[in-house]
Amino acid sequence: MQNNTLKIQLIKILLMFFVIHFTASTTAAADVISDNTVKELISEIKELRKNNENLKTELETIKKEQAEIKKNMADYSRRDHESKTPSGAASNALSDLEKELNSAASGDIQKGAKTTAQNSLGMAGATNPDMGAVGIISYTAAKKYEDQGGTPAANTFQFDEAELNIAGYVDPFHKYDLVLGFHEDEVGVEEAYLTKFDLPLKLAGRLGKFRSSIGFINQHHVDELPWAGEHVFLNSFLGEEGLVTTGLELKKTFSSKGRWTPTLSYELGSGHEYDKTAATGTPNKLAMHLDKSFARDRRNLIRLRNHFDINEKKDFTLGLSYLDSDHGDLKVLGADFQYRYRPQSYQGLSFIGEFLKRDDKSYNLKRAAAGLNSFSPQGYMLNLEYQWDPVWKAGAVYSNFDDPARINSGKCDSKIVYIAHPQTEFTRYLLQYEQREMAGFEKDNRLTMQLIFNTGYHRHKLK
């Protein structure tokens, strides 16, 4: 019995020893596990912090990329709109040529940049120019149109004009442009000039035959204007084809930290001004027609263009022009403006205006000596246009030309409303109504339907 008791006690002691030993081992293991866990957690926290910093860096990069994409989209929308208006907001109320000159003058253009066709042709692009063709077909219904000196005759379809555009880079520093005009009975060189990009003082220039930078309308070809056909203001003051210069133009765009960007240009050239056979030296409007009976004169043109970015949706452009000629003390003063509001890339309102006045001292003195009216001719044009859809727009044009001395036609007044459907950048359909009053003629009403199309390279998209 006693032995059994001793055995039981011994077993109890062994069990207690085992329990105590096991409990101590477990506690020590738990302490070890706890320390390892803490170390692992600290390591994970450090890793998470590091990953967090990397994520922040990636997020900042993504934000910058998104901002750049938004900026590029805004620039693309602006350029797309400018290319569809007779301007170039932005910077566009300008032709593509003027944009190229401005880019060159500000040093933004890349030397040696090639055109699309040259890039696609590789090495062959050095000798293969970009080429494109433009055609204009119209139908005009007007009872008195032909009787009042209008050409072509009324109530007939006419192929008004075809243009062949050729352009390319001669080398990394020179680019050439050639525009050939095809009419029913003649072919002529409308423009042919060389643009140079690397002049001193960040100047850009062109040399050859080109449309003069005077005013706003004159810088654009017929297919770039919102309305159809001849225009009273342009025709009465500058001639049917506008003012074309053979000479040199230098241009400087000044850098600006604010929203104002000024561009100053100087033009030295020659053109046709006076008929040598006319006893009174009567000017042929102001136009430089290619009639061999007209004497070439030397003229200087200074133009200051100021572009203001009001905000992301609004901009305003103001231009001032001064032209003088060494023949007959002829001076021309001009002012033009363009206001644009674009709540969306395809929707917006534009308001364009232009004023021109000529002062021909020699001619006025001759008329005054003869007891005739010696007032100087002047005129203005206003164009309001609204686009509500990417392929639909409508507008109105009012023009007035006052010629008291009756150099051309006396007083002329024109009111135009139109609706245009530029289905793509390669085609434009237009329907236009005009009411015209000219001194010495009855009031005339004209309805015009016009189609403009182009293919291949073209310096500007259809408006």
Answer for the pair 198, 103: CB distance below 8 angstroms, yes or no: no
pLDDT for residue 368: 72
Which of 39, 54, 79 is the last residue before a domain boundary? 79
- Domain match, 48 and 180 both: no
Question: What total number of domains does the chain contain?
Answer: 2
Which of 27, 52, 79 is the last residue before a domain boundary? 79
pLDDT for residue 206: 94
Q: Is the pTM of this model over 0.75?
A: no
- Domain match, 135 and 252 both: yes
Specify if 274 maps to a domain.
Answer: yes
- Domain match, 69 and 148 both: no
Over residues 100-114, the pLDDT tens digits come to 555 555 545 454 454
Which of 46, 79, 112 is the last residue before a domain boundary? 79
Which one-letter amino acid corresponds to residue 182? F
- Domain match, 39 and 142 both: no
- Domain match, 257 and 332 both: yes
| Band of residue 2 on the pLDDT scale cut at 50, 70, 90 | very low
Specify if 88 maps to a domain.
Answer: no
pLDDT for residue 412: 81
- Domain match, 2 and 125 both: no
Domain of residue 245, CATH code: 2.40.160.10
- Domain match, 56 and 141 both: no
- Domain match, 223 and 335 both: yes
- Domain match, 210 and 269 both: yes
Specify if 286 maps to a domain.
Answer: yes
Specify if 172 maps to a domain.
Answer: yes
Specify if 462 maps to a domain.
Answer: no
Stretch 296-313: mean pLDDT: 88
Specify if 85 maps to a domain.
Answer: no
pLDDT for residue 291: 31
Specify if 228 maps to a domain.
Answer: yes
- Domain match, 292 and 238 both: yes
Q: What is the Cα–Cα distance from 328 to 283, expressed in whole angstroms?
A: 10
Specify if 90 maps to a domain.
Answer: no
Cis peptide before 172 (omega within 30 of 0): no
Over residues 104-160, the pLDDT tens digits come to 555 454 544 544 444 544 444 456 788 999 999 999 888 765 444 445 556 788 888
- Residue 368 is part of which domain span? 96-456
- Domain match, 179 and 207 both: yes
| Band of residue 229 on the pLDDT scale cut at 50, 70, 90 | confident
The rounded mean pLDDT for the chain is 75
- Domain match, 128 and 37 both: no
